[in-house]
Amino acid sequence: MASTVIGIIPARYASKRLPGKPLLDLFGKPLIQHVYERAKGAKLLTDVLVATDDERISSAVSAFGGKAIMTPQTIQSGSDRVAYVARNLPADVIVNIQGDEPLIRPEMIDETVQAVLDAEEIHTSTPVKKIASPEELIDPNVVKVVIDEEGFALYFSRSVLPFLRADADQKIWVKRHDYYKHIGLYVFRKEFLLTFTQWDSSPLEQAEQLEQLRILEHGQRIKCVVTEHDSLSVDTPEDLERLKGNIRN
């Protein structure tokens, strides 16, 4: 029997650096529409929904023919917003698709979903991409991930990991070692998502401000899917201008 896989895009209006981000205009479409349309292109998704706390976002989604579900404004994290919607859905697998990544590739979504569908023991998967430039490596906004021999995450950090003690110049580290950046897409078995979001925030999660560390701190595993595809998030006005030179409709 085929699994029901539903993609949920969490989208809140309030943003410290870029208020109203999901509604920002990008080539005549709101940002959230670009994400939604990309997600709809994934072959393994049964359906795609937007989980939002704002009627303006809900109205915009409805206007372009999408589906939106309202969630409480008190919800703080994307995973919690996704879980709030997922608990009432007849789904086996839930995909948390970031609402600020209009360049997300459908192929990347399918690759990451397939990892969960292929192995019953895997309850969480996420895409990672090899870092090619020194600038990306040392950027604290680029989350790095260390992976074990079986392809599971050992740790996520905004710092450069591992530290190459023998080379003082970090600019050449990408030539000395394979570094991977984390792309903020998560595939969960529904029951695990509902369990994980009930756990208290963990010390490492609070230190790095990375909620996936909560999973690792509880002794659970995250499968990392190495992809050739990339994605760019919009966090600042500068990011939006940069995207305008890269987006392909």
How confident is the model over 158-214, as pLDDT tens digits? 999 999 988 878 889 999 999 999 998 999 999 999 999 999 999 999 999 999 999
Kindly report, residue by residue over 65-115, the tens digit of the pLDDT.
999 999 998 998 899 999 999 999 999 999 999 998 888 999 999 999 999
Please tell me the predicted confidence (pLDDT) of residue 42: 98
Please tell me the predicted confidence (pLDDT) of residue 119: 95
**One-letter amino acid for residue 53 of the chain:** D
Q: At what angle do helices 31-40 and 106-118 cross, to 10 degrees?
A: 50
Among 33, 41, 43, 46, residue whose Cα is nearest residue 7: 46
Average pLDDT of the chain is 92
Burial class (CB in 10 A: 0-12, 13-18, 19+), 30: buried
**CB–CB of 138/170 below 8 Å?**
yes
**CB–CB of 123/187 below 8 Å?**
no
Please tell me the predicted confidence (pLDDT) of residue 236: 76
pTM, rounded to two decimals? 0.93
> What domains are defined for the chain?
5-244 (3.90.550.10)
Kindly report, residue by residue over 214-248, the tens digit of the pLDDT.
999 999 999 999 999 988 787 777 777 777 776 55
- Cis peptide bond N-terminal to 90, omega within 30: no
In the predicted model, is pLDDT for residue 155 greater than 50? yes
Among 240, 249, 231, residue whose Cα is nearest residue 21: 240
